[in-house]
Amino acid sequence: MTRLAPALFAALFLLLWEAAVRLSGVPAYLVPGPVAILGAFLTDPRLFLTSLLSTLGVTLAALAVSTALGVALAVLMQASRLARAAFQPWTVILQVTPIVAIAPLVVVWVGDPFASVVICATIIAFFPVFSNTAAGLAAAPAGLLDLFRLNGAGGWDTLRLLRLPAALPYFLAGLRISGGLALVGTVSAEIVAGSGGIASGLAYRILEAGYRLQVPRMFAALALLSATGLAINAALGALARALLRWRGEA
Amino acid sequence: MLTLDRLGRRFPNGTEALHEASLRIEPGDFVALLGPSGCGKSTLLRLIAGLDRPDSGRVAWDGETAPAPGEIGFVFQDATLLPWADAADNVFLPLRLRGRSRRGAEADISAALARVGLERFAQARPRELSGGMRMRVSIARALVTRPRLLLMDEPFAALDEFTRFRLQDDLLALWREIACTVVFVTHSIYEACFLARRIVLMTPRPGRIAAEIGSQVAPGPEMRLAPAYIALVAEVTHAMQAALAHTPPA
């Protein structure tokens, strides 16, 4: 029953939504019901799915870049006190800077639409995977660190055999958060970039439908974004469970 | 011979953890450092291991070379095993850090696990083992390098009494078999009297060595009910009470 609960709740929610829209007589250009949204999607499914693939491509590229950068910087900051002192403020600046404030600049500076949206999404997705990995690298048990010292282990062996494996659960938790944020960052960057961006993602479809007051199309694109977010979260959750089970920790 | 010459250690917060602690430990001896929490037992053990540096005094290895990495075995309060590695890989760790190949170390790993009665659990992960079994793996890991000196920091404190008795019996048997020097930290008078040939009493604030009492009781499982053991417990209890009478209340 617990497993079915989300689907049952979603079905009930959609049913009540459709009933409320029909009974109140509110026009579809203000609040469309689920049936109207589905109809909007079915009028041009190829366009929506192409846009979805575009957004997904940017999201996955941003997630890959932010993961590589986040892990590399976390390892560097763990290995070098100087690097930690130098980079720590910049990671916080990246975290607190609103992407809408810098996305137009990135679009202008970078020029290439795909690269500029990936950069914006990477800035948003970077911090969780970085900070969680850094926390995991620092959380290696003190007793094991002593054991490595007693046996003459160098920094590389300690990193390879202790700190990195110990950081895996932290990294996976951060990756799951970053996965969602990469999508949020992609959509934000697409909206801010507007027609200056890649002009093919789901966010652009929302903007385009908004300009034309095609509200059901806006909702159709929004529903696809929500489904994509759920799928990314579920996939990264499954990856984390599989890896931890393989290591005998789950 | 290991000589501790007026060792002093003051922590950065101003606490004087150890005050002019001097001790001589003969090769093959079994010494228990006994005292209440905060008397500097673990600090003394870390200074011997080289995991911490004294502010005054010195640790000297008279007539023998200072131990190389791996020649000191350390068993911590917790088993401190790698949770993602099985028992055999955990035991292999000190050898791996010294550059041994897994294939070349197989016989040593099997022998170490057999010594602690876990030869059938080589493939078990730590979460699949009981607390007592995890501590046995930790002891096997400390012994696999055939250390000259085995340092044990309250290794049985977290175990139930039945498991603790069993492990104490097995530790005595191991000590007689491998004939290495053991320094065992405990806050249990019964444990110190049962295991050690020499009991070093320590008192807190600041941590200092208050007295040394030698044991003439023949070690072994049958000793628990021996009148000589009961008498030794009484003697150590009186000496500890006398030593603590001159310290500030806890």
Question: What chain B residue is nearest to A152 in terms of C-alpha separation?
Answer: B69
From chain B, the residues in CB contact with A149 under 8 A are 51
Phi first, then psi, for residue A118 (nearest 5°) are -60, -40
**Shortest CA gap B249–chain A (Å):** 30
The tens digit of pLDDT for each residue in B13-58 reads 888 889 999 999 999 999 999 999 889 999 999 999 999 999 999 9
* Inter-chain CB proximity B97 and A151 less than 8 Å: yes
* Assembly ipTM: 0.89
Q: Report the distance separating Cα A102 and Cα A119, nearest Å.
A: 11
- Mutation site for B-interface testing, chosen from A146, A149, A151 by largest number of B Cβ within 10 Å: A151
The shortest CB-CB distance from B84 to any of A148, A152, A247 is to A247
Give chain B's mean pLDDT. 91
In chain B the domains, ranked by start, together with CATH numbers, are 2-67+148-244 (3.40.50.300), 83-147 (no CATH)
Average pLDDT over residues A12-26: 93
**Shortest CA gap A135–chain B (Å):** 18
The lowest-confidence range among A100-114, A220-234, B92-106 is A100-114
The tens digit of pLDDT for each residue in A21-78 reads 999 988 888 899 999 999 999 999 999 999 999 999 999 999 999 999 999 999 999 9
Question: What chain A residue is nearest to B74 in terms of C-alpha separation?
Answer: A147
Helix/strand/coil (H/E/C) assignment for every residue in B204-242? CCCCEEEEEEECCCCCCHHHHHCHHHHHHHHHHHHHHHH
The tens digit of pLDDT for each residue in B167-206 reads 999 999 899 888 899 999 999 999 999 999 999 999 988 8
| Confidence class for position B246, pLDDT limits 50, 70, 90 | confident
Q: Report the distance separating Cα B184 and Cα B195, nearest Å.
A: 9
Residue B248 has pLDDT above 80, yes or no: no
Residues near B148 by beta carbon (within 8 Å), at least 6 away in sequence: B27, B67, B71, B72, B180, B181
Residue A198 has pLDDT above 80, yes or no: no
Domain boundaries, chain A: 50-246
> Under CATH, which number does the domain A50-246 receive?
1.10.3720.10
Question: What chain A residue is nearest to B123 in terms of C-alpha separation?
Answer: A248
The shortest CB-CB distance from B74 to any of A147, A165, A247 is to A147
| Confidence class for position B114, pLDDT limits 50, 70, 90 | very high
The pTM (predicted TM-score) of the whole model is: 0.85
The tens digit of pLDDT for each residue in B47-95 reads 999 999 999 999 988 766 777 777 899 999 999 999 999 999 999 999 9
For residue B244 the two structure tokens come to 């603590």
* Inter-chain CB proximity B97 and A152 less than 8 Å: yes
Max CA-CA distance within chain B? 56
The order of strands in the sheet holding B198-203 is B72-75, B149-153, B181-186, B30-34, B198-203, B208-214
For residue A192 the two structure tokens come to 């801010």
**Shortest CA gap B232–chain A (Å):** 33
From chain B, the residues in CB contact with A143 under 8 A are 76-78, 80
For residue A191 the two structure tokens come to 């909206």
Residue A164 has pLDDT above 70, yes or no: yes
| Confidence class for position A195, pLDDT limits 50, 70, 90 | low
**Shortest CA gap B72–chain A (Å):** 7
**Shortest CA gap A79–chain B (Å):** 19
Helix/strand/coil (H/E/C) assignment for every residue in B97-144? HCCCCHHHHHHHHHHHHHHCCCHHHCCCCHHHCCHHHHHHHHHHHHHC
* Inter-chain CB proximity A147 and B93 less than 8 Å: yes
Residue B230 has pLDDT above 80, yes or no: yes
The shortest CB-CB distance from A150 to any of B74, B82, B127 is to B74
The tens digit of pLDDT for each residue in A206-225 reads 988 988 889 999 999 999 99
Spatial contact of B21 and B40, defined as CB atoms under 8 Å apart: yes
* Inter-chain CB proximity A151 and B128 less than 8 Å: no
Report percent pLDDT > 90 for chain B: 72
pLDDT at res. B67 = 79
Q: Report the distance separating Cα A187 and Cα B37, nearest Å.
A: 57
